[in-house]
Amino acid sequence: MAQTQKGREVSRVELAEIFGVAKTTVDAWVQRGCPAAPSRGRGKERRFNTADVHAWVAEDARSTPHPPRTEGEQELRLRKLAAEVGLSELKVKHLRESVAPADEFAMASALQNAEIRKQLLEVPERVYSQLAGETSEARFKRILEAELVQALEIAASADIEIDSEG
């Protein structure tokens, strides 16, 4: 094989990987005239120059007549394109429905924080009678912690509704 251009010398397997084709495609190329060094004996694979093969593939693509596309092919391509567009639109619709607008999220957060504040401010009133005169620090902490947990659980379970109209 005469090297007309710089390129790498590669095996049939490497050439197939480089061009992203099957090894049988490389064999078919050789039968159609793809430049390749002759086999160097039994069990030895022929070698290919990547630059020479690239030039040959480009020329082969230009010189090989391609049958005109039929109306059926064009219709199938249009249907495929329409299906791809439809799928993309469904994905966008799903994403839009699964994401809350920032202003609604901010409003919900503000309402949730207000409920937490309300519940925490009620804790002293609820625990006053239980803690009055308490001398055990451990019991004092247990009562206060239980009340705080209860206040947070009530706040977490509160039904927060956002007025989307205003």
Q: In angstroms, rounded to a whole number, what is the distance separating the alpha carbons of residues 66 and 69?
A: 9
Shared-domain flag, residues 116 and 151: yes
- Indicate which CATH number applies to the domain containing 26: 1.10.10.10
Per-residue pLDDT of the chain (166 residues; tens, 9 = 90+): 554 568 889 999 999 999 999 999 999 999 999 999 887 777 788 899 999 999 999 888 888 776 666 667 778 888 888 888 888 888 888 887 777 778 888 888 888 899 899 989 988 888 888 888 888 999 889 988 998 998 898 888 888 887 765 4
Residue 4 in any domain: the answer is no
Please name the residues in contact with 93: beta carbons below 8 A apart, sequence gap of 6 or more.
none
Total structural domains within the chain: 3
CA dist 162 and 101 (Å) reads 12
Same domain, 73 and 43: no
Contacts of 4 (CB under 8 A, 6+ apart): 51, 52, 55
Q: How far is the C-alpha of 59 from the C-alpha of 82, rounded, in Å?
A: 34
Q: What is the pTM of this model?
A: 0.38
Q: Does any domain span residue 3?
A: no
Q: Are residues 56 and 35 in the same domain?
A: yes
CA torsion through residues 69, 70, 75, 77, sign:
negative
Residue 42 sits in the same domain as residue 87: no
Are 94 and 58 part of one and the same domain?
A: no
Asked whether residue 91 falls in the same domain as residue 117, the answer is no
Is residue 110 located within the same domain as residue 145? Answer: yes
Query: The domain containing residue 147 runs over which residues?
Result: 102-157
Kindly state whether residue 165 falls inside one of the protein's structural domains.
Answer: no
Does residue 1 lie in a domain region? no
Examine residue 162 and state whether it is found in any structural domain, yes or no: no
Are 110 and 74 found together in one domain? no
Regarding whether 118 and 95 lie in a shared domain, the answer is: no
| Nearest of 126, 113, 120, 101 to residue 160 by alpha carbon | 113
Same domain, 56 and 75: no
